[in-house]
Amino acid sequence: MTPLRQARRAMGPHGWSQLQLIGVMRRIAAQYGEQLPGDTSLKTMLSKWENGRRSPDERYGWLLCQALRSTPEALAIPAATPLRPQTHRTTAGLALAGSGDGSIIEVTAIVDGNVVTMPMERRTLLQALLAVGVGGPTGLPAVAERQRVDPAVVQHFARLRAVLVDADNTMGPRHLLATVTQQVTAIDQYRRAAAGRLRTVLLATQSRWAEFAGWIADDVGDRSTGTRWTGLALQMATEADDAAMVGYIHARHAQRALARRDPARILAHADAALHQHHISPLTRAFGLSLRAHAQAITGDLTGCQASLEHAHQLAQSGQDPHDLGGFCVPAYLRMREADCWLDAGQPSRAGQVLQTALDTWPAALTRDRGMALARLATAHLAAAEPEQAAAAALGALEVVTATGSARIHDDVVVLAARLSPWQGRTGVDALLTAVAA
């Protein structure tokens, strides 16, 4: 076995796959403005290097040394030449701490690797976030490769992510993707400058931000970008040995598989999430709801009911809403339950569950409320209630206008097409006009 292959297999608790190594190399190259070939080409090249049939050039040799934290001599490859960093300036951004009535908040900024705070009006901060993105050219220097990193940056990025998750829930994904991806880059700079346990913690932090980027990309309708970010997040969480995040991302993969109605894939990812012992109660409830949906699709209603009952019990845990899976509150879980009854051919039951959910829907989850309204419209249509379906779809369309959610918009467009046979009814005509506008 060549030293290069040995080094790859020695990384992490279970060794890295070729794709994991490629993902790390890609992230490092991105910091220097370098674009690498596709995964298929890189796997072919890596296989030849590992088999000793070819040697990497100086650029790839340096990337391999950086990714594997090794030297050309140890990897038995030619001398490596470092990539030249981009000449740009960046900041790790801003974060919020708590304050009295919420009108004035403490803003945390990172300057030369150190954390400082200052008071700022909440409205001013959010306008800045949405207008230019957090990581824009604010005059703060990029992180030096060997600079001391303040461990407080971890809490800084956690607070900032909580702020942006709240913004996404209430205002939708518009303008957020660039901001979030800039933070992934900023965290990567700090991670590479850190050492020991702090480096691993920053990698786990980066995984959370990458998953958030994947969620936002999905919501604006860019599924390919969502797939890339979600896959990177799982690689990072695995490398960081962050079991809670690994479980959560598997649940997200199960959720994404719902779009293709692939029950085998949904079950595989849901079970992979549930097998992680350190996931939070609400992440476990989220995973159980996805397993229930797959069971409903396959006709296993007994298993579906059991999974839902267990999920509802866990949803009473009162978890911090900013923790992983914090959105999976009882009202959200009822929406997921209603999806199961829709697939089981019980639209009236689904409509009742959704109406109960909407009656108690948290004000902070605006975008998800739009999803619930779209589901309610689907339930009414399946129950041959076109006027009620149109009314619910119009409510969902209002949320689309407020948040820019492509997912909800696409659902409403499909509903409008299915309601076209009832054209001439007041409610249906109002929906068709609104969709066409």
- Residue 51, classed as helix, strand or coil, is coil
Q: 158 and 101 in one domain?
A: yes
Q: Does 236 fall in a domain?
A: no
Residues 61 and 106 in one domain: no
Looking at 344, 365, 391, the residue that finishes a domain is: 344
Q: Do 107 and 68 share a domain, yes or no?
A: no
Distance CA 93, CA 138 (A): 9
Predicted pLDDT of residue 275: 94
pLDDT at 33: 67
Please say if the pLDDT value at position 291 is more than 70: yes
Predicted pLDDT at 89: 36
**31 or 79: which carries more pLDDT confidence?**
79
Is 225 inside a domain boundary? no
Are residue 197 and residue 101 in the same domain, yes or no? yes
Q: Is residue 261, in this structure, part of any structural domain at all?
A: yes
For residue 267, is pLDDT > 90?
yes
Domain identity same for 155 and 57: no
Question: Is the domain of 98 the same as that of 58?
Answer: no
222 burial via Cβ count (<10 Å: 0-12, 13-18, 19+): middle
What is the percent of the chain with per-residue pLDDT over 70, rounded to a whole number?
82
- State the DSSP string of 53-121: SS---HHHHHHHHHHHT--HHHHT-----PPPPP-------EEEE--SSSSEEEEEEEETTEEEEEEEE
pLDDT at 250 over 60: yes
420 or 114, which is more confident? 420
Handedness of CA 17, 21, 22, 26 (dihedral sign): positive
d(CA 268, CA 205): 25
Mark whether 133 and 206 lie in a shared domain.
yes
User: Are residues 337 and 390 both part of a single domain?
Assistant: no
Residues 123 and 178 in one domain: yes
Domain count, the chain: 4
* Claim to verify: residue 110 and residue 164 sit in the same structural domain: yes
Last residue of a domain, one of 12, 43, 75: 75
pLDDT band per the 50, 70, 90 thresholds, residue 147: low
Mean of pLDDT values over 376-391: 96
Could you tell me if 308 and 412 lie in one domain?
no
Answer whether 358's CB lies under 8 Å from 373's CB: yes
3-state secondary structure string across 244-307: HHHHHHHHHHHHHHHHHCCHHHHHHHHHHHHCCCCCCHHHHHHHHHHHHHHHHHCCCHHHHHHH
Per the domain annotation, does 426 fall within a domain? Answer: yes
Tell me the average pLDDT of the chain: 83
Question: Do 250 and 336 sit in the same domain of this protein?
Answer: yes
Residue type, 387: E
Whether residue 231 is contained in a domain is answered as: no
pTM for the predicted model, two decimal places:
0.69
Is 201 contained in some domain? Answer: yes
Q: Which helix (H) or strand (E) holds 368?
A: helix 366-382
Residue 17 has pLDDT above 50, yes or no: yes
Q: Is residue 226 part of a domain?
A: no
Residues 331-364: tens digit of each pLDDT:
999 999 999 999 999 999 999 999 999 999 998 8
CATH number for 37:
1.10.260
Burial of 387 (0-12, 13-18, 19+ CB in 10 A): middle
Count of CA atoms in the C-beta half-sphere (13 A) of 356: 14
Q: Answer yes or no: are the C-beta atoms of 341 and 347 closer than 8 Å.
A: yes
User: In which band, very low, low, confident or very high, does the pLDDT at 330 lie, cut at 50, 70 and 90?
Assistant: very high
Residue 300 lies in a domain: yes
Q: Compare 108 and 417 and report the one with higher pLDDT.
A: 417
Burial class (CB in 10 A: 0-12, 13-18, 19+), 58: middle
Q: What is the DSSP letter of 175?
A: T
**Residue 156: which domain range?**
94-210
pLDDT for 55-65, tens place per residue? Answer: 898 888 888 98
Both tokens of 234, joined, read 């799982």
